Structure 1
């Protein structure tokens, strides 16, 4: 069922097929963008089989064998988050750090009805990391992933809203979701639901916009601000929440303002001290307003926006030993490729990425452009010297034949 009707060069621009269509919504990217994105909740039944991404066995592996520490896990029961001391402990000789997950404590809390929340799963579980990287590239907004593991007939949190959009992927078990429309549409990151606790509680007592049971393979999309609560049914529920942290017009306005203020630093008149005794009203305020508006009209927020955008994500994993082996064996026929999730951007002679920037002589720029366009297969396609430089920088990685 559904609540709604069904001079710069960047690399990695997506055409819109990718992850979103086959796995999450069954819609084309354009249909999702125009009919659903940031507009309304949507439940897609039987969207996909998510057993390749996560499972109950993965939960046990992460909790008991990976040596995870806080804040990679938190525990909640009846709407409250338990203190870290309730589920952490040192792990014996050679691992005496005190904030490591204690699987015995976690088992006791879980058996007593607590929900386990595995946070930042895109950093600890490779299949989820790959999904998050693909979805983030497709949407153009940063994505993170948590897993919620709830024992039968229990809930983790009361009705609340998130300040990011979410895709809920039901992996195992079933969970009943109750969804209400926002009390604060499209909240910003500094406008949490706790600032509107009374309004949220009152709205949650009213008629639900959506009341449904999610089964394995179902996906629920919720724009930021939509109220929701969930309760597991007769078996353990495991679901993934993909949190999409959208760039907003407000965020772009912040970048534009910063660019304008940076330009005003070069204006001697704006560096002048205000007259003695001024109260920042009248003529002085109007003078500043006029110059600020002029600076905003000509400011270019693009460089700072792209820096901020790159800073919200991580490049794909890089193995130091494999990288060194590739560097030592490098020759014209060595297979190489651009490292994934770099968010590369070529501006003039400078390539900016999530691992830093590099400047190139004019003769190398066509080769760099071919690399960004995906038309490089071997070190010889680039030139071995350039390939070596990019391998050392972590921009290029060895490719499988």
Structure 2
């Protein structure tokens, strides 16, 4: 990283442990490993009983503290669901890559071992946040393996692509299918490592064909029963008609349309929505999972995002560009600069989940990561 200070801005061990402490968590979202073996949840979880008798699983911080002192790996998946900074980081990476992104975190202490040699069914970008960890990366032994595949992929490659130590600020990309493992067994009994793994779930030809197959329900020939009892001639005729219809279907629904639909139809994430109960919002930020798609329709501007289609007057386009930029923006500044009532535009975008009120948590998450728009 060009700016090492970004590491602590993204996450610190203390902030990770604070997140773990303040939420009801259970495996597989939170896991703990000792000597490379996953511990039974009873080793680090307990039940917290509320005043009304509700029992919630929570991490036993005293036990986790003991495990950290002796050497272990604490894993928390999908930190972006709990932490506004990581939420913003994942959204920025989604806008950049145009793929869904999730971030998992790994805190390893002393000389604890990590996972054994394995491969992931998605690309990962690993960011070493603090401390050091030794890595070994090997090439793929099966081209582009999948989670649900035609055959297993269990034999590691012997081809070592890279091995070395990642230090704070180092970033590494590991493509899907590449074998890898990380450990601190060579680091001694002092120190720790904190790294985050951004997972990029890219789409494949299988995903496109599945999407096209779902579109086939719109066409009558595919909804008819297969003619099992009409004889070989009838079945062959039906197959010929279906094959022709499949070719038309593939032509009508190209890959580009699938990728665009996937972005535009992805529902918006959960956000605080007060409905102006505590006063109208003064600042907003776009929270669409992917960059909103803006097109001109005569004297109108059409915005597609979060599974919604919104139409605005063409004169609103400059203001919409600011509101949909992904930067936090002050509505008064937008109104003054663009000569329109930005609050009215923002209200429509907030109601449809495309933008969100800039809460204190969202503002904190943006600080130092996303420049503030004027």
TM range (shorter): 0.7 to 0.9
Q: Aligned equivalents of 2:161 and 2:258: distance in 1?
A: 39
| Structure 1 match to 2:217 | 262
Give the structure-2-normalised TM-score.
Answer: 0.76
Instruction: Name the CA shift for 1:314/1:152 in 2 (closer, same or farther; >3 Å).
Output: farther
Q: Aligned equivalents of 1:213 and 1:192: distance in 2?
A: 35
| Structure 1 match to 2:207 | 251
CA-atom RMSD in angstroms: 3.5
- The answer as to 2:73 corresponding to 1:115 is yes
Give the structure-1-normalised TM-score.
Answer: 0.71
Give the match's secondary structure for 2:55: coil
Q: Deviations over 1:74-100 (max 9, x none)?
A: 122344433333322122434843322
Of 335, 341, 347, the residue aligned with 2:288 is: 341
Q: Aligned equivalents of 2:183 and 2:321: distance in 1?
A: 47
Write the mapping of 1:193-204 to structure 2, written as runs, cut at 5 A. Answer: 195-197=152-154, 199-200=155-156, 203=157
Q: Aligned equivalents of 1:313 and 1:218: distance in 2?
A: 33
| Structure 1 match to 2:340 | 381
Instruction: Name the CA shift for 1:99/1:312 in 2 (closer, same or farther; >3 Å).
Output: farther
Q: Deviations over 1:97-156 (max 9, x none)?
A: 332212123234444543110111111222222211111111111111111111222222
Q: Does the 8 A contact of 2:266 with 2:289 survive in 1?
A: no
Q: Does the 8 A contact of 2:264 with 2:304 survive in 1?
A: no
| Structure 2 match to 1:163 | 121
Aligned residues: 337
Instruction: Name the CA shift for 1:294/1:126 in 2 (closer, same or farther; >3 Å).
Output: closer
| Structure 2 match to 1:144 | 102
Q: Unmatched 5+ residue regions in structure 2?
A: 324-330, 359-371
- The answer as to 2:164 corresponding to 1:212 is yes
Instruction: Name the CA shift for 1:286/1:85 in 2 (closer, same or farther; >3 Å).
Output: farther
Of 25, 33, 39, the residue aligned with 1:69 is: 25
Q: Aligned equivalents of 1:391 and 1:312: distance in 2?
A: 16
| Structure 1 match to 2:63 | 105
Instruction: Name the CA shift for 1:146/1:338 in 2 (closer, same or farther; >3 Å).
Output: closer
Q: Deviations over 1:244-299 (max 9, x none)?
A: 1112333233323433x13423x4x8636515155796443233212211222223
| Structure 2 match to 1:183 | 141
Instruction: Name the CA shift for 1:278/1:74 in 2 (closer, same or farther; >3 Å).
Output: farther
Q: Aligned equivalents of 2:223 and 2:357: distance in 1?
A: 52
Higher mean displacement: 155-164 or 118-127: 118-127
Of 222, 226, 238, the residue aligned with 2:174 is: 222
The structure with the greater share of residues assigned to strand is: 2
Q: Aligned equivalents of 1:392 and 1:270: distance in 2?
A: 37
1:69 is displaced (CA, Å) by: 1.0
Instruction: Name the CA shift for 1:214/1:311 in 2 (closer, same or farther; >3 Å).
Output: farther
Greater relative contact order (Cα 8 A, min sep 6): structure 1 or 2?
1
Of 48, 63, 82, the residue aligned with 1:124 is: 82
Q: Does the 8 A contact of 2:68 with 2:109 survive in 1?
A: yes
Q: Unmatched 5+ residue regions in structure 1?
A: 1-22, 27-45
